[in-house]
Structure 1
């Protein structure tokens, strides 16, 4: 598998992919300052159409993904959501590896892990 960064959002309350979640990737410098380097919106499979980082863009460092889940839930129902933006901060320590960061989502909680 190519060295790249990908994500996938599943809505456990709907038992399927979360379409329409805005995702922003930021790189953090040594002082913790964030620079936005990529963004996108999940498709009908809960994935972005392109990797957040391609093999050429992969480099070691600290990153964070921001998932705009509050807007996602407001667009789908009148049900309120406890979560607004879900931040996931992680480290790429080997830029030759594939990094996949899934988000399992519900209106009041989330889980993430390093996927394959």
Structure 2
């Protein structure tokens, strides 16, 4: 089963996918049905995409989502390590990291978070 949360990062400086960019997905809420400070990690693929997230434990993102009630709005964050990523390419970045916070409503279609990032700017939106 595909992850309920995916993302895609494009490097606006070169107009190419941001391959090899570290990302951390974090559950932001404390709920009676789920724990807080749950982190998942990924590195964008050659196309700048994250399709699956890994966790140090055996808990999956789908497992966490199942702990919430239908229709519940769940706050999440994705942090992208853009500062280090640009530095590895010899480019100075204004951003040490870019963080996108968003809600996921349990029971809706999957959520896709596209991000356009450059050394001096970034933008995002809810994708499909």
Q: TM-score, normalised by structure 1?
A: 0.83
1:114 alignment counterpart: 126
Structure 2 residue 7 is the aligned partner of structure 1 residue 7: yes
For 2:49, the equivalent position in structure 1 comes to: 47
Contact 2:6 2:51 in 1 (8 A): no
Is 1:67 aligned to 2:105, yes or no? Answer: no
Q: CA deviation at 1:37?
A: 2.5
More strand by share: 1
Given the alignment, which residue of 34, 37, 40 partners 2:39?
Answer: 37
Q: Following the alignment from structure 2 to structure 1, what is the Cα–Cα distance between the partners of residues 96 and 45?
A: 20
Tell me which stretches of 4 or more aligned residues in structure 1 moved more than 6 Å.
none
d(CA) in 1 for partners of 2:39, 2:127: 21
Structure 1: distance between partners of 2:21 and 2:114? 13
CA distance in 2, matches of 1:9, 1:24: 13
Larger radius of gyration: 2
Q: Secondary structure at the match of 1:96?
A: coil
CA distance 1:3–1:41, shift in 2 (3 Å) = closer
Name stretches of at least 5 consecutive residues in structure 1 with no aligned partner: none
Structure 2: which 5+ runs fail to align? 55-59
